């Protein structure tokens, strides 16, 4: 087997756990997507290191350090810079893709910072802060 320095779209999708459609239609249309270095079969080939750099710089986001015991509304989480809009949190909650609130006093949904950080760490595209 030949060890190739390049990756084609199906290999990129498998490596990063995303769909082929995401690689070709979303990432591939991004202005900072790397230039192809060749072609393999029907797919353009990209240097693996260039793809990794693109994902690190434009796709992955570090999780925000929230106060673990503080309660946050969806709007406050958005304002804290978690990278997700309050509306997305509410929509994901109805689709069971966001945890149930830790507090619902007075009809207001609030999540502990620790709960929100766990939810963010499990989402695709987030990596734990190294600091």
Residues 101, 47 share a domain: no
Residues 120, 67 share a domain: yes
Q: What is the pLDDT of residues 4-57, one digit of tens each?
A: 679 999 999 999 888 999 999 999 999 999 999 999 999 999 999 999 999 988
Residues 68, 47 share a domain: no
Residues 121, 67 share a domain: yes
Q: What is the pLDDT of residues 69-128, one digit of tens each?
A: 999 999 999 999 888 899 999 999 999 999 999 999 999 999 999 999 889 877 766 554
Residues 20, 43 share a domain: yes
How many Cα atoms are found within 13 Å in the side-chain-facing hemisphere of 46?
22
Residues 118, 74 share a domain: yes
Residue 108: which domain range?
A: 62-127
Residue 37 belongs to a domain: yes
Full DSSP string of 8-42? EHHHHHHHHT--HHIIIIIGGGSTTPPPP-EEETT
Residues 75, 123 share a domain: yes
If one counts the domains in the chain, the total is 2
Pick from 36, 38, 35, 12: nearest CA to 23: 12
Do 50 and 25 touch, CB atoms closer than 8 A? no
Phi-psi region of 107 (alpha: psi -120 to 50; beta: other; left: phi over 0): left
Residues 72, 45 share a domain: no
């Amino acid at each position: 087997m030949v060890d190739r320095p390049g990756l084609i779209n199906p290999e990129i999708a498998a490596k990063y756990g995303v769909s082929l459609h995401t690689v070709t239609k979303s990432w591939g249309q991004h202005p900072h997507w790397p230039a192809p270095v060749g072609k393999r079969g029907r797919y353009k080939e990209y240097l693996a290191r260039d793809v990794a750099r693109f994902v690190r710089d434009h796709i992955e986001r570090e999780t925000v350090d929230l106060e673990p015991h503080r309660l946050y509304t969806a709007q406050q989480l958005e304002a804290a810079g978690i990278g997700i809009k309050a509306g997305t949190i509410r929509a994901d909650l109805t689709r069971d893709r966001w945890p149930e609130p830790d507090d619902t006093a007075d009809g207001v949904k609030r999540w502990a910072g620790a709960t929100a950080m766990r939810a963010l760490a499990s989402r695709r595209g987030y990596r734990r802060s190294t600091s």
